[in-house]
Amino acid sequence: MAYTGGELNRLNGKYGISAPQRSVPVMKLIKTHRPKSKGELYELIKYHFEKKCHCGIKSKGTVESFGKKLYAAQLQEYGEYKFTLKECIQWEYDLFVVQSLKGKNIELKALQQLQKILKTVHLNIQEAEGFMDEELRIDLIVLKKEKPICGIQVKPLTFNNMREGVIFFNKNANAKWGRPVYYLFYDEAEKITNLDEVTGNILKNI
- The model's pLDDT over 191-203, given as tens digits with 9 standing for 90+, comes to 999 999 999 999 9
Residues 81, 191: Cα–Cα separation, whole Å: 36
pLDDT in tens, 26-67: 989 998 999 999 999 999 999 999 999 999 999 999 999 999
pLDDT in tens, 132-150: 988 899 999 999 999 999 9
Task: Report the predicted TM-score, pTM, of the whole model to 2 decimal places.
Answer: 0.77
pLDDT band at 162, cuts 50/70/90?
A: confident
Residues 30, 40: Cα–Cα separation, whole Å: 10
What share of the chain in percent tops pLDDT 70?
Answer: 98
Q: Which domains does the chain have, with CATH numbers?
A: 6-102 (no CATH), 105-203 (3.40.1350)
